[in-house]
Chain A
């Protein structure tokens, strides 16, 4: 069975500082990996996804993530955060064995709070 672990439930960081949100997954097969963001009072928005190819994936709003198969990690990073990045971030995994769309498994989320 697949699972996703987000190691930090909350991450406080100062504005313009770099940030890394950690995500580890477990799966017996190859996977697709995602990061979603939920801004206050909004729905889930896709930040970026890894399907195949380059292990460094760039997403919206200056975020990027690196897929590390040997460490089964998919950490999210941003070199300089802004107040508007305050949100909850979810790492997610999906099983690619099936060519049809498959359910995704979410981590428990990391709340990113930006201090001025």
Chain B
């Protein structure tokens, strides 16, 4: 089966611009997560979708970040306007539905490296 796909793999934008990251989870996975790693620091949770609903968005840093998952398939994470401190690697992960989630663990994508200059 195909894994979790993220694109672009790299993005370099100027401060103040808008960037949209995309994540395609494993087909059939209801749970989709976004995480971020700022250079040298830990990987931090951003938010969790169950199908198209936001289950937990407690990790979203501020209102410049907008995540969507229309139709419960792929998800986008938009940063508008981007700031220098938004630079980092953004990971997406997916897992099966409720009963299987933690028994299967999470499958992560390769990440999108965002650089804001």
Interface residues of A (CB under 8 A from B): 4, 32, 34, 36, 42-46, 49, 51, 90, 94, 96, 99-109
Contact = CB atoms under 8 A, between A and B. Distances in A.
A4 to B, nearest CB: 8
A36 B108 contact: yes
B102 interface: yes
A46 B105 contact: yes
A101 B98 contact: yes
27 contacts: A32-B102, A34-B105, A36-B108, A42-B110, A43-B110, A43-B111, A45-B108, A46-B105, A46-B106, A46-B107, A49-B105, A94-B102, A96-B102, A100-B50, A100-B98, A101-B48, A101-B96, A101-B98, A101-B102, A103-B59, A104-B45, A105-B45, A106-B42, A108-B41, A108-B42, A109-B42, A109-B43
Contacts of B108: 36, 43-45
Nearest to B42: A108
